[in-house]
Amino acid sequence: MTAILTIESLKYNRNQRHILHDVQLTLAGGKVVGLLGANGAGKTTLMRLITGSAKGSGAITVSGSSTPVGRKQHVSFTDHLKGFAPNQKISRIEQFYDAVYPDFDSQRYQELAQFLDLDGQQKLAALSKGTREKLIIALTLSRQVDLYLLDEPFSGIDSMSRKKIINSIIRWLPDTATLLVSDHYVSEIAPILDEIVVVKDQTIVVHEETETIRDQKHMDIETYYEQLYEGGTDND
Amino acid sequence: MEFDDKVPIYLQIKQVIYHEMVTGKLKPGEQLPAVRQLALDLTVNVNTVQRALGTMIAEGFLVSQRGRGNFVTEDQPKIATLKQQLVQEQLATVYHELHALNLSDDEIITSVQRYVQQRGNQDDSHLND
Amino acid sequence: MTKSWALFKQLSWPRFVLMNWVVAFELLMLVISGLWQAIMGDFHAYTPFFTLCGFMMIPGVVSLVMLAVQNERTVMTETYRLIPISDWKLYLLNLGASLANQIYLWLVQGILFGITLLIGYNSLGKVFNGVPEGLSQLNSEVNLVQLGLTAVVVGIMALLLIWSTISLVHFVTNAASSFLPRFRQGVVNVIIYIGVMLIALRLVSALIGGLSFLSSQAINGGVIDNMWVGVAVMAIVILAEGALNVWILSKWVEPKLD
């Protein structure tokens, strides 16, 4: 299987603090990967480094492109829509995506929007947290790319929205594409994950297949993840 | 569908489908839903469904027809052995658990008989309600 | 890759809406002050013209600041930074979209100016009795056109210079903040603000002075239009700042986190 994402010796400092160092990661195509770690561990930063929003040192390659602008063509990231005015209508935001992303598939968006009950006439400011997240997911998955990065799509939303989002991932993620989803509650997404990647102590400490963890360690993913933190102090 | 996250999910998917085959919910020769649809129905990863189906095809319980999808085998005796196998597995668990409570083989048989009888009476009285 | 024109349109739309708000506000002020003067019994055909002349500066300055804010916000927002287009194109399109909308506002101002002038033309003649003779001394119409054109070009250059300098200060402080520990940022930011402003001002005046001296020497005391030398100097500074801005932007400037 060819690699969709390769990260080599990635380092990132900010305000003279080490945020990430010695990050190595290779993700194959056609996988759903959970990016786990405590709040502030650097999950969002890692995603921003992949998109090119954050500027670190080291090499990041997505589908053969290593320049930021090249990577942006192959990566679809859950943008929090800060660039839009609060009174902006959903349909207007969709038009923006359609205009600036050549790989945006309107047909797919319509299907996703219908599935997620999105109303194009609604204004951004009027959306509940769950609906706003659903809109972000619909926009992100409507691009036809190799790598999808979902940054904490489940934080603070109701369980019905969460289920719908999980189902739209299963239904609309292209066969050969890889999806990296960050979350700090593992159990809610564990059944849809092929692999987990854990960020801890400013680097990636674990990259493992979920079925291997269940099969060989006879542990559920949550317990396995928590145990990394319990043992952590001894390793330092 | 809720899965036990301590057990490989592809094994649990196999159990679900085997169960449907044995109980006749999935008939011999019947077509299974598409992989993605199954993944949606079970809320699991597409690759995991693929893996479960793959092993079931290798075991001969499913037949894959290129470009058409996956079908339950029409080999009835094969499904009968599957039923046998599932029953064996359940009994093995019960036997193991009861043995752990220091019951002898005879005691196990009588307690199972008594249980079945009681259960039957209970269900009858429920029906009369 | 995103098409430049597609992104230009998307960058322009919110600014266009803003500019129209500015115009709407201006018209509202015009109506209110007109009504006020009508109530006071002091309304003449030339009143709108004078009112407009009175606060014409306000929409100009307000729109300039609003567009500067838009410029800076765009490059600091992930919504725009995620778009697959190179940083120099984003920078140019961003600046271009603001410029186009600023020119749009100027055009609307010009039209308003013309309309109010037409309304009050007859009565204005009485007010400015002596002026037409004064104007006729200012050569022919060709010169007036040339003067207007020069003013527009100088205006555009000044605008670009202001915006690129604001961006430069913004980008440098932003880039510096990623290196320094938090507590030292405030002090450094102030130093950079003042420093860059002083350097930009000094640079422009020194260049204008130097170039006009050189060129007047070179053309042997011939008449050099100082205005155009100034424009050329501003163009050089805008280009230099632009190159620096794009470099810092792509190297260090990260869009804001939520």
- What 3-state class would DSSP assign to A149? strand
- What 3-state class would DSSP assign to A169? helix
What ipTM score was computed for the predicted complex, to two decimals?
A: 0.91
Per-chain mean pLDDT for chain C = 83
Local structure of residue A125 (DSSP, 8 states): G
**Structural domains in chain C (count):** 2
* Same-domain status, B70 and B13: yes
**Do A194 and B48 make contact, defined as CB atoms within 8 angstroms?**
yes
Q: Is the predicted pLDDT of residue C128 greater than 90, yes or no?
A: no
* Same-domain status, C114 and C200: no
Q: How many residues does chain A have?
A: 236
Buried b (16+ CB within 10 A) or exposed e, A95-119: ebbbbbbeebbeebbebbbeebebe
* Same-domain status, B70 and B94: no
Quote the pLDDT of residue C219.
Answer: 55
Q: Which residue has the higher pLDDT, C53 or A81?
A: A81
Q: How confident is the model at residue A201 (pLDDT cuts 50, 70, 90)?
A: very high
**Mutation choice for B interface testing from A169, A170, A196, A209 by most B CBs within 10 A:** A170
Q: Which domain holds residue B103?
A: 77-128
* Same-domain status, B91 and B117: yes
* Same-domain status, C131 and C58: yes
Quote the pLDDT of residue A155.
Answer: 86
Cα–Cα distance list, A62 to A66, A101, A188, B78, C81 (Å):
6, 17, 28, 47, 17
* Same-domain status, B17 and B66: yes
The answer, for B71 touching chain A at a CB cutoff of 8 Å, is no
- What 3-state class would DSSP assign to B20? helix
Tell me, yes or no, whether chains A and C touch by having 3 or more C-beta pairs under 8 A: yes
Local structure of residue A191 (DSSP, 8 states): G
* Same-domain status, C118 and C148: no
Quote the pLDDT of residue C211.
Answer: 64
Question: Is residue B2 assigned to a domain?
Answer: no
Residues B7-16 have a mean pLDDT of 93
Work out the minimum CA distance from C56 to partner chain A, whole angstroms: 28
**Do B39 and A193 make contact, defined as CB atoms within 8 angstroms?**
no
The answer, for A101 touching chain C at a CB cutoff of 8 Å, is yes
Least confident of A87-101, A221-235, C72-86, C119-133: C119-133
Q: Is the predicted pLDDT of residue C146 greater than 60, yes or no?
A: yes
Q: Is the predicted pLDDT of residue C134 greater than 50, yes or no?
A: no
- CA dihedral for C159, C163, C166, C172, sign (positive or negative): negative
Q: Which residues of A touch C85 (CB under 8 A)?
A: 69
Q: Is the predicted pLDDT of residue B59 greater than 60, yes or no?
A: yes
Q: Which residues of A touch C74 (CB under 8 A)?
A: 83
Quote the pLDDT of residue B125.
Answer: 67
Q: Which domain holds residue C183?
A: 138-258
Residues facing A27 on adjacent strands: A5
* Same-domain status, B85 and B107: yes
Work out the minimum CA distance from A218 to partner chain C, whole angstroms: 39
Is residue A192 within 8 Å of residue A170, measured between CB atoms?
A: yes
Least confident of A102-111, C204-213, C228-237: C204-213
Quote the pLDDT of residue A112.
Answer: 96
Residue A187 in tokens = 């159990």
* Same-domain status, B24 and B63: yes
The answer, for B13 touching chain A at a CB cutoff of 8 Å, is no
Neighbours of A224 (CB within 10 A): 23
Identify the chains in contact with A, defined as 3+ C-beta pairs within 8 A. Answer: B, C
- What 3-state class would DSSP assign to A200? strand
* Same-domain status, C131 and C146: no
Quote the pLDDT of residue C147.
Answer: 72
Q: Is the predicted pLDDT of residue B119 greater than 90, yes or no?
A: no
Domain's final residue, options B74, B89, B109? B74
* Same-domain status, C124 and C245: no
**Do A102 and C2 make contact, defined as CB atoms within 8 angstroms?**
yes
The crossing angle, in degrees rounded to 10, of helices C141-177 and C87-119 is: 140
* Same-domain status, C182 and C223: yes
Q: Is the predicted pLDDT of residue C135 greater than 80, yes or no?
A: no
Q: Is the predicted pLDDT of residue A234 greater than 50, yes or no?
A: no
Per-chain mean pLDDT for chain B = 89
**Structural domains in chain B (count):** 2
Quote the pLDDT of residue C190.
Answer: 79
Work out the minimum CA distance from A147 to partner chain B, whole angstroms: 17
Question: pLDDT for C163-200, tens place per residue?
Answer: 999 999 899 888 887 777 766 777 777 787 788 778 77
* Same-domain status, C87 and C165: no
Domain's final residue, options C86, C118, C137? C137
* Same-domain status, B47 and B103: no
* Cα–Cα nearest to B99, from B111, B87, B88: B111
Residue A202 in tokens = 């400013």
Task: Kindly state the helix (H) or strand (E) to which residue A178 belongs, with its residue range.
Answer: strand A178-183
Note the pTM of the prediction, 2 decimals: 0.87
Q: Letter for the amino acid at C174?
A: N
Q: Is the predicted pLDDT of residue A5 greater than 50, yes or no?
A: yes
Q: What percent of chain C has a predicted confidence (pLDDT) above 90?
A: 40
* Same-domain status, C142 and C76: no
Domain's final residue, options C137, C169, C196? C137
Write the DSSP string, chain C.
---HHHHHHHHHHHHHHHHHHHHHHHHHHHHHHHHHHHHTT---TTHHHHHHHHTSHHHHHHHHHHHHHHHHHHHT-HHHHTSSS-HHHHHHHHHHHHHHHHHHHHHHHHHHHHHHHHHTHHHHHHHTSSHHHHHHTS--HHHHHHHHHHHHHHHHHHHHHHHHHHHHHHHHHHHHHTTS-HHHHHHHHHHHHHHHHHHHHHHHHHHHHHHHHHHHHHTTT----HHHHHHHHHHHHHHHHHHHHHHHHHHT--PPP-
Say yes or no: domain A3-235 is CATH 3.40.50.300: yes
- CA dihedral for C191, C192, C194, C198, sign (positive or negative): positive
Quote the pLDDT of residue C223.
Answer: 44
Residue C125 in tokens = 């003649």
A25 φ/ψ sector (left φ>0, alpha ψ -120 to 50, else beta): beta
Burial class (CB in 10 A: 0-12, 13-18, 19+), C159: buried
* Same-domain status, C210 and C229: yes
CA terminus-to-terminus distance, chain B: 33
Question: Is residue B81 assigned to a domain?
Answer: yes
* Cα–Cα nearest to C51, from C96, C101, C97, C116: C116
CA terminus-to-terminus distance, chain A: 35
The answer, for B62 touching chain A at a CB cutoff of 8 Å, is no
Question: Is residue B111 assigned to a domain?
Answer: yes
Work out the minimum CA distance from B11 to partner chain A, whole angstroms: 10
A231 φ/ψ sector (left φ>0, alpha ψ -120 to 50, else beta): alpha
* Cα–Cα nearest to A34, from A154, A140, A160, A115: A154
* Same-domain status, C3 and C65: yes
Q: Which residue has the higher pLDDT, A175 or A230?
A: A175
- List, in order, residues 6 or more apart from C75 with CB less than 8 Å away: C81, C90, C91, C94, C167, C249, C253, C255
Residue C56 in tokens = 């014409």
Work out the minimum CA distance from A118 to partner chain B, whole angstroms: 20
* Same-domain status, B70 and B83: no
A–C interface: beta-carbon pairs under 8 A: 73
* Same-domain status, B60 and B103: no
* Cα–Cα nearest to C241, from C204, C187, C190: C204
The answer, for A33 touching chain B at a CB cutoff of 8 Å, is no
* Same-domain status, B70 and B106: no
Work out the minimum CA distance from A231 to partner chain C, whole angstroms: 31
Q: Which of residues 160-199 of A touch B (CB under 8 A)?
A: 163, 166-167, 170-171, 173, 175, 187, 190-194
* Same-domain status, C236 and C165: yes
* Cα–Cα nearest to C33, from C48, C45, C49, C53: C48
* Same-domain status, C5 and C101: yes
Buried b (16+ CB within 10 A) or exposed e, A35-74: bbbeeebbbbbbbbbbbbbbbbebebbbbebeebbbbbbb
